[in-house]
Structure 1
Amino acid sequence: MSGRRTARRPDQGRQRLLRVRAVLAGGLVLGVGSTLTLAAWNDSEFATGTFTASSFQIESSINAGGTWQAHPTSGAAATMAFDPAGMSPTSVNYAPIWIRTTAGSLSGTLALQGATTSGNASLAAALDYRVVRYASGACDSSQFTAGASYIAGSSASKVPLGTVGAATAVAANSANPTQLCFEITMKASADNALQGTNVGVTWEIKGTSDT
């Protein structure tokens, strides 16, 4: 009869449930799959630099307005213009030297090293010295005042030739040369047997850059 319900098979409802579960499970799988396939955007920046080493070099002159040259070894030392007349006990001799950096050089520090000598060692021992840094005027006794800037010795005392001096500054790029005045004195106690002897004296002025 048409009004009679068709009997439901006992496993029909179970199959529908399984189909629903399968659809839900498929949705979960699709969800996980879409997360794994997401892509990340990226971008980069690069920077580069070129580095050039600075330079430091000094040169000297033995007279105002004279020729500037490098004297980098004891064999090529600048010959300071001391009075060529022979020295006697208590006599004093003076000579200047100007030192500056070369064009484009950094600033730095000058350090006066103790002198080395060649020749009569007894004559070297009979000589004392002192050095001042000065701004103007002649290199003579007038520079060695109580208020002077002493590199070696002091206004009250002189020191042996081998004594290391103090450091002083030198400006960058050839500006404002550093002027030094050397004073050499023969001791009053110098032995009479030193007459006619000679000794060579060489000072190193070591420059070091500030940076």
Structure 2
Amino acid sequence: MTRTRPTTSSRRNKTLAILAGGTLVGVAVTATLAAWTDTEWIFGGDGAGGPGIGTSTFEVVQNTAAPFTDPEDFVNEEENPGGEMTFELAALDLSPGDEVYAGVSLQTTDTSISGDVELQPAIPADGIVQNDPDGLLYGALDVRVATADTAFACEADAFLAGAGTEIIADGDLDSAAATAEQTLAAEAGSTQFYCFEVSLPDDVTVPTGFDLDDLMGLTLAPAWEFASESV
């Protein structure tokens, strides 16, 4: 049988057809790269590899241990009844005309920004067993609060003119609120001292239907809140 060799032209056309169909084996097919790509990232840091953005801290702490200045005695008490401010032993044995005293101091923590504090009226302490079912003793007592940004003796003289203190509350125990707020410096930079005077007046009165004798033998645990706000 005589075979006919394909012409150069026919071989070329067959090759182009195979390439067009993508079926040519062993022949590399190249891709087109449009452009080089790259990325860059940044973050807000502190200059030493740590986080560079955050929030401030505002925290007020209290000290009920005389002389109210030892840094180790400042603690955080944010819920009623709070820290225990101890009045004199005579406070459980009041007679008309008696008054008793107890103190506390406030400051910010060493990582806190500054803030203002304002004393709120007394309310009964949570979780403390008290014997004042009709609220007679609560309604009969008076309270005064003196304050200063330097330490002072918490006693009757603290309420005298020229004592260097400011009287910020004076009235019935169940309603007397502060008439001024105090500023605490940042980072424990200042200490505010407070002296509470609780008294049973000579001219104490009781509601209709009760006698003065009904005040005898009662007990009460008042709690005060210092509402604070950063500045």
- TM-score over 0.5 (shorter chain): yes
**Bigger strand fraction:** 1
Distance 1:103 1:189, change over 3 A: same
Q: How much does 1:167 deviate?
A: 1.1
* Aligned residue pairs, count: 160
Distance (whole Å) between structure 1 residues aligned to residue 159 and residue 174 of structure 2: 17
Show the counterpart of 2:167. Answer: 150
Name the counterpart of 1:194. 215
Q: How does 1:12-91 map to 2 (within 5 A)?
A: 49=44, 50-63=52-65, 64=67, 65=70, 67-75=73-81, 77-85=82-90, 86-91=93-98
Runs of 4+ in 1 over 3 A off after TM superposition: 46-50, 158-161
Conservation of the 8 A alpha-carbon contact between 2:139 and 2:172:
no
Superposed CA RMSD in Å reads: 2.0
Q: Can you list the C-alpha shifts for 1:68-111, whole angstroms capped at 9, x where unaligned? A: 11001004x11112012211111010111011101110111011
Q: CA deviation at 1:170?
A: 1.1
Gaps of at least 5 residues in structure 2 are: 1-40, 45-51, 205-211
Identity level (%): 26
The C-alpha deviation readout for 1:106-149, integer Å capped at 9, x for no partner, is 11101101110264110011101011113233101111123531
TM-score normalised by structure 1 residue count: 0.70
Q: Secondary structure of the residue that 1:110 maps to in structure 2?
A: strand
Single out whichever of 133-142 and 108-117 deviates more from structure 2.
133-142
Query: What pairs with 1:154-169 in structure 2 (closer than 5 Å)?
Result: 158-165=171-178, 166-169=180-183
What residue is the counterpart of 1:131 in the other structure? 145
* Separation in 1, partners of 2:172, 2:184: 24
Q: Which deviations, in whole Å up to 9, do the C-alpha atoms of 1:175-197 show, x marking residues without a partner? A: 22110011111122342221111
In the aligned structure 1, how far is the partner of 2:188 from the partner of 2:89? 31
Q: Mark the structure with the bigger radius of gyration.
A: 1
